Structure 1
Amino acid sequence: MSDSNHETLTEVRGDLVLAALCVGQFQAPCQIEADRILVRADEMLIRALEALGLSLAATVESFTPAPLFVPETVILEQVSRSIETRRVATHVSRFHGDEPEDEDEATSAQV
């Protein structure tokens, strides 16, 4: 592979479930493997991962992030389409108290 396919990443080892939850909170692109997570991390995410006691190391490798990380423009487009088609239905209920349950009872009560 050529160096153009490689980028500087953060390798995370340790409790990978905890690491994945943390990475997900930051919505950072990541590549999940059996024994590590590669993440494109900013300084705040690195601090959070360190605070959790995870093992971090800088590495230069090719990166194939999980497919659920799509460009922000795609997400915004999907959200805008969702808002356009969203319908709101309301139902107003009221306390009926001593009112008859059906029309037959209402007419017999008036007679």
Structure 2
Amino acid sequence: MELSYDLDADAMYLHATDVPVARTVEVDSGTMVDVADDGSVVGIEIVTPARNWPIDRLLAEFDISAEATTLLRSLYQNASPEAFTASGSGSGSAVILPFRDVRTTNSGSVAVAL
């Protein structure tokens, strides 16, 4: 499982598995779930993660692993404008997330292996 955060788009993506995506379900205007043929969740994208996003609906409607559920609940509890704020601009900017080991990439996104 990997969590990435795109500084420019202000979007978080939880990549749960390497299974091919069969379809994408829009839960709300800023929450999309990539689903495999068997109905399992491949990934979840949350645009503007500092907002109130539909975590209860995600957990009720989709087959999300226990590990991903724990992570999503942790992120949701820590969601605030300060938790997802970039300092600086352009590639290599720092971002504050509720994790100990966060690395920025040259493309301006942040990746955390979980």
- TM bracket, shorter-chain basis: under 0.3
TM-score by length of 1: 0.23
Tell which structure's C-alpha radius of gyration is larger.
Answer: 1
TM-score by length of 2: 0.22
Which structure ranks higher in relative contact order (CA pairs < 8 Å, sequence separation ≥ 6)? 1
Q: Which has the higher helix share?
A: 1
Q: Which has the higher strand share?
A: 2
